[in-house]
């Protein structure tokens, strides 16, 4: 894989060599330009960049993860999207997909990092355990923390692909037994692009790489470090069931007639209104569907600590520190109930404690009443 690559070839040369036609290439460019949120007049610029610029090397590290993000990525909508990274752009190291193994793989990575020092993009998939000197995730005898620090050193930018490397993910969920942290807790001095999701949409990463290749800069990020063009809108605001939300038509069970008709899944715990992602307009599996379209509410998988904000099937999530079953409404009812009960007790007590004052008022008042002049 690595040996066969000509380090100086452009994206176009690489894809032509893979057997794609120029027409496929142009289709891909059009498609990516639209995904990146640019006007159609930008297609020319993107195409020219990919025709003339040298490929950007990518090193892909895997830590505490399920490899679902890689799965999502290699099943990108457009075959070229995945090929561009996996075969054509250059994936100089990824333990899951590379051909080399053992010492050869590690050597290849070292060689690539050395050769492309300061120029490669580091993709991180999975969280990094820090407890007990990071022994909970080791590759080739070295801990994830150590490997991450080494690979980040020469990276131009880091893409944290998936909720684990972006926010900590499932292993960082309560009680976080291995002390897992996201990448930005360890690496402070590199631009980090969060691409959260469990898994994230594959095109988002291709989009970031193509953006970097075209303009030499990273895409605009929002205030939580995510590329704006993909995470700028809530799932709710691009949801095809949104008219049902505004009309107040809500499904109450998954298998109901209403759910099939397309009623809003809000009451089934849909996290769409609090989740920023591109599912609503990019969709999954070649644009076939996405969870809400398939009748299941969004679980907010690209939001921070979404595992701890369960249960997914209810609007309200558990209140930390008050036990599994406690929701804010239950606590609220207790608080308001206590206020009412307190007021009632106080009312009784004040009738007893202030009996003298009340009696005096009453006696004097009655006396006055007796002496009203006509």
Partner 1 sequence: MTTTTFNFKRVYVWELPVRMFHWITVFSTTILIITGFIIADPPAIQSNAEASNSYWFGLVRAIHFVTAYILIANLIFRIYWAFVGNQFANWRNFIPYTKKGIKNILYVLKVDIFLMPDKEHKLSNISIGHNYLAAFSYTIMTLFFILQTMTGLALIGDTSSWWLPKFFHFMVPLLGGDIVVRYVHHILTWLFMAFIVIHVYLVLYHDYVEARGEASAMISGFKFIRAERVDEKEEDIIEKAETQMWEGDKEE
Based on the shown chain and the rule CB under 8 A, indicate whether residue 293 belongs to the binding site for partner 1: no
Q: What is the DSSP string of 29-91?
A: HHHHHHHTT--GGGHHHHHHHHHHSBPPPEEEEE-BS-SHHHHHHHT-SSHHHHHIIIIIIIE
Q: In what order do the strands lie in the sheet containing 58-62?
A: 91-94, 58-62, 120-125, 155-161, 192-195
We find the least distance from the C-beta atom of residue 134 to partner 1, in angstroms, to be: 24
Q: For residue 214, what are its two tokens?
A: 């075209």
Q: Does 275 bind partner 1 (CB under 8 A)?
A: yes
Q: Does position 316 bind partner 1 by CB under 8 A?
A: yes
Q: Which is nearer to partner 1, 49 or 265 (CB)?
A: 265
Q: Does 283 bind partner 1 (CB under 8 A)?
A: no
For residue 123, the minimal CB distance to partner 1 (Å) is 23
**Cβ closest to partner 1, residue 109 vs residue 271:** 271
Q: Using alpha carbons, select from 170, 171, 130 the residue that is nearest to residue 148.
A: 130
Output 141 or 248, the one with its CB closest to partner 1. Answer: 248
Distance between CA 271 and CA 126 in Å, rounded?
23
- Residue 201: CB minimum distance to partner 1, A: 19
Burial environment of residue 221 by CB neighbours within 10 A (0 to 12, 13 to 18, 19 or more): middle
**In this chain, which stretch among 90-98, 114-122, 170-178, 342-350 interacts with partner 1, using CB under 8 A?**
342-350
Distance CA 203, CA 229 (A): 12
Q: Is 34 in the site for partner 1 (CB under 8 A)?
A: no
Minimum CB separation of residue 55 from partner 1 in Å reads: 34
Q: Of 252, 254, 288, 359, which one interacts with partner 1 (CB under 8 A)?
A: 252
Determine if 343 is a binding residue for partner 1 (CB under 8 A). Answer: yes
311 binds partner 1 (CB under 8 A): no
Q: 325-355 burial string, b = 16+ CB within 10 Å, else e?
A: eebeeeeeeeeeeeeeeeeeeeeeeeeeeee
Residue 149 binds partner 1 (CB under 8 A):
no
CA atoms within 13 Å, Cβ hemisphere of 255: 0
The reply on whether position 331 binds partner 1 by CB under 8 A is yes
- Strand 58-62 relative to strand 138-139, pairing: unpaired
Please choose, from the candidates 196, 202, 200, 282, the residue with its C-alpha nearest in 3D space to the C-alpha of residue 240.
282
What mask of x and - would describe binding to partner 1 in positions 35 to 54, judged by CB under 8 A?
--------------------
Q: Which tokens go with 350?
A: 């004040």
Residues lying near partner 1 in the complex (CB under 8 A): 223-224, 233-234, 237, 243-252, 258, 262, 266-267, 271, 273-276, 300, 303-306, 309, 315-317, 319, 328-329, 331-333, 335-336, 338-340, 342-343, 346-347, 349-350, 353-354, 357-358, 361, 364-365, 367-368, 371
């Amino acid at each position: 894989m690595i040996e066969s690559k000509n380090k100086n070839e452009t994206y176009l040369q690489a894809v032509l060599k893979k057997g794609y036609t120029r027409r496929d290439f142009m289709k891909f460019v059009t498609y990516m330009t639209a995904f990146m949120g640019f006007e159609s007049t930008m297609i020319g610029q993107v195409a020219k960049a990919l025709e003339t610029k040298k490929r950007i090397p990518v090193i892909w590290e895997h830590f505490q993860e399920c490899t679902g993000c890689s799965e999502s990525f290699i099943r990108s909508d457009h075959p070229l999207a995945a090929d561009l990274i996996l075969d054509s752009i250059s994936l100089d190291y990824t333990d899951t997909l590379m051909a080399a193994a053992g010492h050869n793989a590690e050597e290849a990575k070292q060689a690539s990092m050395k050769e492309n020092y300061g120029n490669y993009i580091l993709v991180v998939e999975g969280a990094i355990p820090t407890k007990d000197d990071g022994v909970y995730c080791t590759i080739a005898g070295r801990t994830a923390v150590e490997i991450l620090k080494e690979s980040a050193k020469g990276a131009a930018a880091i893409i944290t692909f998936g909720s684990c490397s972006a926010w900590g993910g499932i292993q960082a969920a309560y009680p976080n037994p291995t002390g897992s942290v996201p990448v930005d807790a360890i690496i402070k001095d590199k631009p980090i692009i969060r691409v959260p999701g469990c898994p994230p949409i594959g095109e988002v990463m291709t989009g970031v790489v193509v953006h970097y290749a075209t303009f030499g800069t990273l895409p605009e990020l929002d205030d939580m470090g995510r590329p704006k063009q993909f995470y700028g809108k809530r799932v709710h605001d691009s949801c095809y069931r949104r008219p049902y939300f505004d009309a107040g038509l809500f499904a109450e069970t998954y298998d109901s007639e209403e759910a099939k008709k397309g009623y809003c899944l809000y009451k089934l715990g849909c996290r769409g209104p609090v989740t920023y992602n591109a599912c609503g307009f990019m969709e999954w599996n070649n644009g076939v569907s996405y969870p809400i379209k398939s009748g299941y509410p969004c679980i907010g998988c690209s939001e921070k600590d979404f595992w701890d904000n369960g249960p997914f099937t209810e609007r309200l999530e558990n209140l930390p520190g008050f036990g599994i079953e406690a929701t804010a409404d239950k606590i609220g009812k207790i608080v308001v109930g206590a206020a009412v009960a307190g007021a009632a007790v106080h009312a009784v007590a004040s009738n007893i404690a202030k009996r003298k004052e009340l009696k005096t008022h009453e006696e004097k008042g009655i006396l006055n009443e007796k002496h009203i002049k006509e």
